Amino acid sequence: MDEVKDKCGVIGIYDGKDNFDIARLLYMGLFSLQHRGQESCGIAVNANNEILSHRDMGLVSKVFDDNILSMLKGRHGIGHVRYSTCGASCKDNAQPIIVNYKDGMMAIAHNGNLVNANELRAKMADNGEVFLADSDTELILKRFVYYIAADHSIEKAVEHTMKEITGSYSIVISMPGKLVGFRDPHGIRPMIIGKYKNTYILASESCALDTIGAEIIRDVVPGEIIIIDDDGLHSYQTKTNGCSALCVFEFVYFARPDSYIDGANVYAARHRAGRQLAIEHPVQADLVTAVPDSALAAALGFSYQSGIPFGHGLMRSRYVGRTFIQPTQEMRDSAVKLKFAAIRHEIEGKRIVLVDDSIVRGTTTRLIVQALKNAGAKEVHMRISSPPVKYPCVYGIDIATSKQLIASKLSVEEIQRMIGADSLGYLSIEGLNQIPENVNLGLCTACFNGKYCTDED
């Protein structure tokens, strides 16, 4: 499908002598993070300095059952849901990745993407390193283990590793007696700290904390290293250039609406995007509707601001996932029809405002506009709650290459004609920057303006 694809989600839990069933808490947390990756998932727990783990291809509910969780007994552990942006989609690349090192075993899980992975892999291979798979996470793990073996403290080993890697990363590591978490110096990918009784949790999004019943403590700040052990939580701040760049697409599309990221609620940000869109691109119409589900909040915001009533004009099948088989190129259109259906009763004879969060290649949008018109819409006015996506993402989001991005080739008027809409309006970059209220960090908008924060590192 013509979509921006999610990336990964991570979680780490350290039991502060509450005697919780850590594997079950990790499972619940991963369940809440499922929207961040549906290809594979895994849990690794530390039991008396040995790692017990299970990982496989598929959804959390398919990969784990009662028996498997019962075998994963430990004091602390980590979990991961994966969408592959670096390395093949296969069981070998499923995370957590586990290694033996001089003090025992350790497991790592990573959300993000290294910009310098190829260069770093080549350098390591020249030094005789061999690799189990082709994901960038293995590179991070091996550099960390190298510095630990050279007798550096954990925080120093992380700091040295961070100096060698460029890109986006929120990482959790389970090692003997410690749960370690760290976030890249720009804070591109999110990570939050929670607490449930005496037990600490690190997670990609606050929705995982809510599911477990934990309270939010705070977000991990860019460049921060967190180490949790029996003495509690310890924080170490590495040097950054002060330029934070949290991925704005977290607010536009990726994150769950109930999550708070770096101080801002995701649902509120999407609603605000819709309100701003109505101010920037007003239109006379009878009904506001959304491409479900991620554009719903923005459509409600548009409706609120414009006074045009909101209605459900499209339904989305819950059963067309990534594994849907598209037998031939000619049947691509059918895939969109299977995924989205227009609700004729709501839209017939009306002027429709159709709100979506982004346009990538434009093919799906064209088919959805067509479906609304076939169902009797008099006019379809397309409104997009983010600016035109013109540049690829190098930080772990599978958007498409520049050549495939319609906005990198066509003007707004040309895109409007291509998708068959009666008008088309995108949120401005200025408007986008205002949508997460009270956010603590600067925002990455590189896929809209080509300004990549790591270019200056």
Active-site residues, by number, are 8
Structure tokens, 250: 């977290």
For residue 357, whether the previous peptide bond is cis, meaning omega lies within 30 degrees of 0, is no
Q: Which of 175, 188, 268, 406 binds ligand SF4 (CB under 6 A)?
A: 188
* Binding track, positions 232-251, relative to ligand SF4; x by CB under 6 A: ---------------xxx--
The residues in 190-209 that bind ligand SF4, with binding defined as CB under 6 A, are none
CB of residue 111 vs ligand SF4: minimum separation in angstroms?
A: 12
Nearer to ligand SF4, 106 or 393 (CB): 393
DSSP one-letter string for 255-312: S-TT-EETTEEHHHHHHHHHHHHHHHS----SEEEESTTTTHHHHHHHHHHH-PPB--
CA distance 174 to 168: 20
Burial category of 217 from C-beta neighbours within 10 Å (exposed 0-12, middle 13-18, buried 19 and up): middle
Residue type, 94: A
11 lies in the site for ligand SF4, by CB under 6 A: no
Minimum CB separation of residue 379 from ligand SF4 in Å reads: 31
Q: Give the CA count within 13 Å in the CB-facing half-sphere of 429.
A: 12
Assess 446 for contact with ligand SF4 (CB under 6 A).
yes
The binder of ligand SF4 chosen from 393, 406, 421, 432 (CB under 6 A): 393
Does the footprint of ligand SF4 cover residue 444 (CB under 6 A)?
yes
> Per-residue contact track with ligand SF4, 399 to 428, x per CB under 6 A?
------------------------------
Nearer to ligand SF4, 147 or 260 (CB): 260
CA angle 35, 39, 43 (to 5 degrees): 85
Write down how long the chain is: 457
Is residue 445 close enough to count as binding ligand SF4 by CB under 6 A? yes
CB of 446 to ligand SF4, least distance (A): 4
395 contacts ligand SF4 (rule: CB under 6 A)? yes
**Nearer to ligand SF4 (CB atom), residue 159 or residue 184:** 184
Number of residues that bind ligand SF4 (CB under 6 A): 11
Nearer to ligand SF4, 310 or 395 (CB): 395
Spatial separation of the C-alpha atoms in residues 3 and 116, rounded to whole Å: 26
Sign of CA dihedral 152, 156, 162, 163: negative
| Residue closer to ligand SF4, measured from CB, 248 or 287 | 248
Residue 389 Cβ, how far from ligand SF4 at the closest point, in Å? 8
Q: With both helix axes pointing from N to C terminus, report the angle between 154-164 and 136-149 in degrees, rounded to the nearest 10.
A: 140
CA distance 292 to 356: 8
Interface with ligand SF4 includes 86 (CB under 6 A)? no
Q: Output the CA angle 28-34-37, nearest 5 degrees.
A: 140
Beta carbon nearer to ligand SF4, 300 or 444: 444
Where do contacts with ligand SF4 occur on this chain (CB under 6 A)? Answer: 188, 247-249, 393, 395, 397, 444-447
